[in-house]
Each structure stands twice: as structure tokens, then as C-alpha cells.
Structure 1
């Protein structure tokens, strides 16, 4: 019985010690974050119309039956970064 107890105890201690070594993992996360930030590009903001513009052209019919893109409206975005 003592052999099993010792084996379980050593296994738990080993698992805990292995789980505590996060230095390599933290370094990888930081490198990934740096790579993402360095690959970002700036998109200049502006103003545009967003929504269903079908009623303004051609047969004056909507391009989609859904209500999630109505009414046609103006949107203004600030400059932003994206990767």
C-alpha cells in the first residue's frame, strides 16, 4: 500500500512542477503579441453610406428582404489598425 501512496504522491508532485514551468509559454505568448502588433496596418477613417441602397437605383427595389440593413444611413469611422 505504501508503494502506491508513494507513486501517487510522486506523480502529483511531478505534475505540479511541470505545470509551474510557464516561462517558455509566456515568452511564446509575448512573441506572438509582438508579431501581431508589428504586422498591423493603419486604415484611414472616412464617411460612407451603409445599408440597402437598392431603392436608389434601377427598379427602385430593395436588394434584400431583411430589415437588418435598413434604412440606408451614413457611417463615420475614425482611423484604426487591423492585422
Structure 2
């Protein structure tokens, strides 16, 4: 069986392209310090990170709401104390 030289060169070129894309991916991972550069590379971890982000946003909103409520209660206490003093 004869193998055409163009087939051999095409396979070599395809393999070199594949190795080059792997090298670029590894260089990106090294440069960024991240194993995954997009959520689609590891769906389970991407979903967990998205859930953590949502929980962090919820916690920040809760904290902000608590500060606002505390401030409003403090103002109400001050107003009631002022009214009590005037009576």
C-alpha cells in the first residue's frame, strides 16, 4: 500500500496545529494561573462558581439591607427620644 506524500504532510500539519493549540492553552493557563479559562471547560465547577457568586451577591444585599434597617431604627429611636423629652 502506497501512502501519498501529501497525506503524510497533511497529517503532520494537522498534528502540529493540534499541538500548537494545546501549547497556547497551556501558556494561557500558566499566565493566568487558572486551570480553566471558560466555564464550558468544566461545567460542574462552572456551576459551583456561579452558585457561589449568587450567594455572595445575596449575602452582600442582606448585609446592606441590615445596615439600612439598623440606621432607620436608630433614627426612629432618636425621634421617639426627642418626642419623649419634649413631653
Same fold (TM over 0.5): no
> Higher RCO, 1 or 2 (CA under 8 Å, sep at least 6)?
1
Question: Which TM class, normalised by the smaller chain length?
Answer: 0.3 to 0.5
Which structure features the higher share of strand residues?
1
Which structure features the higher share of helix residues?
2
TM-score (norm: length of structure 1): 0.39
Structure of greater Rg: 2
